[in-house]
Amino acid sequence: MVDITHKSNTLRTAIAQAIVKVSSQETIDAIQNKTVPKGDVFAMSKAAGLLGVKKTPDLLPDCHPLPIEYTGIEYKIDGLEIKVLVTVKTIYKTGVEVEAMHGASVVALNMYDMLKPIDKGIELHHIKLLEKTGGKSSFKDKFRRDLSAVVIVCSDSISEGKKEDKAGKAIIAKLEECEVTIKDYIIIPDEKDIIQEKAKHYQANGADLIIYTGGTGLSQRDVTPEALKPLLDRTIPGIEEAIRKYGQDRMPYAMLSRSLAGTIKNTLVLALPGSTNGARESMDAIFPSLLHVFRILKGARHD
């Protein structure tokens, strides 16, 4: 199965359809009048569809088990065609498209099974996904494409050549995945004055995003938050909370990180952990959704 542990829970919705075509009006009348010998076709098929949605991962080996938090099944009659609409919702890391399509298929198959004694000409058509929302693609097109970022690694040992930087490179990889241009990438020691000077310099030179990695822990040399806080016009606690929540779900020490987020005029400044996993998970927690902030900074509405 695909690894989805790096993803965050979001509200996911999928709507699928199936078309059941009967061969005579008498069949439609029997369904509506509930005179089909096997019973109430719509009610029993709805029950079958609910089971189908919930049993999807039991039948499809690569389908993740997930909490189904809503399933709605509707019927629309148009002449000799009955359109089955299945809506499925969850708050989870992956979508419910397959569950919705499987549910629609099972509803249609159950209708076929119940109706075949009275109608030998039933056909099933157009089982397909009509709509999906809630994944990364739902928000992707809303982001600006002309953003530039600076990545600054704060580390005494890396700046002295004693260690190799991996956290900064992990941040760059995520930025490039999100189509953000890398304006600069530098390594500096854990010195408060240097940290502040770099923030002022890159903000004045038009960087949209300045990301520091390192210096957010609790050792005596971890001074990145203290250096940046006096420079910020506003902090953004929600970003900080999202980073720590995401990290805490994956390891118990994330709560000790002092990650920081805020703005200097229209430049967004982030201070992320210096460990490779901490930096990577922090980026996964907030990107690409964080890029919406640049529309807001320019006066756009949240919608």
Question: What Cα–Cα distance (Å) separates residue 247 from each residue in 29, 107, 177, 178?
Answer: 58, 41, 21, 21
175 touches 207 (CB < 8 A):
no
> Tokens 């999100």 label which residue?
178
- Candidate list 29, 58, 113, 193, residue with the active-site label: 113
Place of tokens 């079958």: 48
Half-sphere exposure of residue 301: CA atoms within 13 angstroms, side-chain side: 1
Does the annotation mark 113 as catalytic?
yes
b/e 284-297 (16+ beta carbons within 10 angstroms → b): bbbbbbbbebbeee
Separation of alpha carbons 297 and 267, rounded Å: 9
Cα angle for residues 144, 146, 150 (degrees, 5° grid) = 110
Residues 6+ apart with CB under 8 A from 260: 216, 224, 225, 228, 229, 232, 235, 240, 269, 270, 271
Two tokens at 38?
A: 């096997």
Active-site positions read 113
